[in-house]
Amino acid sequence: MVNKLSKELTEKQKKVLEAIENFFLAYGYSPTVRQLGKLLDMTNPSAVFKHIVSLEKKGYLKREKGGVSLTSVSTSAEAQVTVPLVGLVPAGHPRETFEISGEGLDVPAWMVGRKRGNIFCIQVEGKSMVDAYIDDGDRVLLERTSTTNSGEMVVALLSDGSVTLKRLRLEKGKAFLVPENPDFEEIEVEELKVLGRVIGVLRKY
């Protein structure tokens, strides 16, 4: 995106704008002045603020509620990217279902960030994760990974070949797949293979 910037921007201003755009793509919102200072390794908030004011005057961003937001000059934040759509994955009792549909789904670029080649989408079947705001029929974005941290929501492949969406709990060398619904029981697994970790949920009302 820097190559699209106006020649009137200084090199430092280009770096500031790029840092704001990268932060937005990673988190879905723009950084505060303090967060931006940390990203740019600038300890003086006044210096950061000076660059923000300059970019605002040139129409690249605007200040609001202690933070900054991008203007229409930066279109990447509103872009759509296509990610692979995988078949139904049970959020209930594990089932031998993890079919590749061959379809794609358009999602906001900011939800995918810089890892777009490593993201896929599943459609959930079941209600074992409703207390985590993942309901039957929701589409969930996942990052492909073979490792994850305790507490993250994952799609796991069990030793019998079945798959399920649950929250992972690692405790005393053991792995548990924990539902977010008291009507379902947690699953202790001896051989756990993580196919992906949840990074977002898409829902139509």
| Residue 166 bears catalytic tag | yes
Contact 199, 153 (CB under 8 A): no
Residue of 166, 174, 193, 204 with catalytic role: 166
| Residue 128 bears catalytic tag | yes
Residue of 12, 115, 128, 150 with catalytic role: 128
Place of tokens 């305790």: 150
Strand partners, 82: 106
Phi, psi (5° rounding) for residue 59? 85, 15
Phi-psi region of 65 (alpha: psi -120 to 50; beta: other; left: phi over 0): left
How many angstroms separate the CA atoms of 33 and 49, rounded?
A: 7
Place of tokens 């279902």: 97
User: Residues with catalytic annotation?
Assistant: 128, 166
